[in-house]
Amino acid sequence: MKFGLFYELSTPRPFTTENQRMVIENAIEQTVLADQLGFSSVWCVEHHFLEEYSHSSCPDMFLTAVARETKDIRVCFGIGTCVPAMHSPIRWAEKAAYLDMLSNGRVEFGTGRSSTWNELGGFEANVDDTKKSWDEYCRVIPQMWTQERFSYKGNYFSMPERCVLPKPVQEPHPPMWVAVTAPGTELDAADRGMGALILSISDVERNVPRIQEYREHIKTCEPVGEFINDQVAIANWMYCHEDSEYAKQKGNELIGTFGYMAGQTVEISEAYPANSYKALGLLGSLRQDPNAPGDKKNPPASGLCFGDPATIIKTIRLWEEAGADQIIFMVQAREHLPQEEVLNSMRLFAKEVMPHFSEDEIPAVVNT
């Protein structure tokens, strides 16, 4: 099991220069510490127009800053949005390869198509075409990385023959992933030989069949790239403290803050009658009805990593048994926690939890 960090870069009001810089600088400090502690990856989302929830409109720039301050941690696009109104695939191929050069081969490239009306509507994107354009992007980007000269005539993207530069350090190219929110997207990832970055935060039990189906489908995949990236990463939350009840209390506060911010986003499935978007349920059990009686409220999701080290170890064991390869943690929401508390949580997690999941502790899993 590997562990990483996942950033939305949620920002408290007022949106002053000081506040916006604080969020970015704190995240960079956390990632530098994560690199020193042995975390394997840092992921940064791409979002637009989502006030407070995420001010991460340029993940490539955040990851570049991180790459120059770290030595070993993987720098991961989580995700690069594959929508023509937002980006050309040429630019994603160039940016990812350039960052691979700057980081000496540490890039992982996550893809997706966005799920909120605020974002897609803001760019006046054609919502009905996003899945088809995403598929086309996934196929042409690795060719730009591996072919000396490339040309293409497609439905959503075309280009005359050119040499797309630079080429990435990693051979044949950086690993590719798909962001998984809507049910069934994990199968889209598997069929294309791409890693599944599961963003729907929920009970471990709900994800067991998704992971199993992913493993079965990827056995017969037709990879869009030069190799199969057979991996499942789970986006999660983590707050580790010696006092388990205190950790759970703070964790619930993080979840509540996240739920409040997410309430101002409107998913495509709710705002636009698009057949290509199913009901996402991204927040799952995180958003509670505050007026529900105590016995009617949903219990906290079983997969959240809030508690003392022993409690978190038990939770991660559940994810391990479910078949996850790595867990990537959100550790902050709108700067709700003091920075030193976040750093201390990471230190305690690295000292007391991570050694239980080292390569010496866990036998290798062989896919057959």
Residues 252 and 227 sit within 8 Å (Cβ to Cβ): no
- Judge whether residue 285 has pLDDT over 80: no
Q: Give the tens place of pLDDT for each residue, 340-360.
A: 999 999 999 999 999 999 875
In this structure, of 176-190, 254-268, 309-323, the range with the lowest mean pLDDT score is 254-268
d(CA 236, CA 225): 27
Please tell me the CATH code under which domain 2-357 is placed: 3.20.20.30
pLDDT at 117: 85
Whole-structure pTM value: 0.91
pLDDT tens readout for residues 64-115: 999 999 999 999 999 999 999 999 999 999 999 999 999 999 999 999 998 8
The answer to whether 9 touches 56, Cβ cutoff 8 Å, is yes
Distances (CA, A) of 345 to 66, 256, 351: 20, 19, 10
pLDDT at 364 over 50: no
pLDDT classification of 306: cutoffs 50, 70, 90: very high
Please state whether 208 falls in left (phi above 0), alpha (psi between -120 and 50) or beta: alpha
Give me the pLDDT at residue 289, please: 47
Confidence check: pLDDT of 272 > 90: no
Token pair for residue 250? 């703070």
Taking Cα atoms as reference points, which of 188, 80, 71, 81 lies closest to residue 127? 81
pLDDT of the residue at 360: 59
- Closest by CA to 231, choosing from 324, 317, 320, 319, is 324
Rounding to the nearest 10 degrees, give the CA dihedral for residues 14, 48, 198, 289: 50
Task: For residue 166, say if its preceding peptide bond is cis, omega within 30 degrees of 0.
Answer: yes
Look at residue 315 and tell me whether its pLDDT is greater than 90. yes
Report the pLDDT value the prediction gives residue 140, as an integer from 0 to 100: 98
CA distance 124 to 226: 33
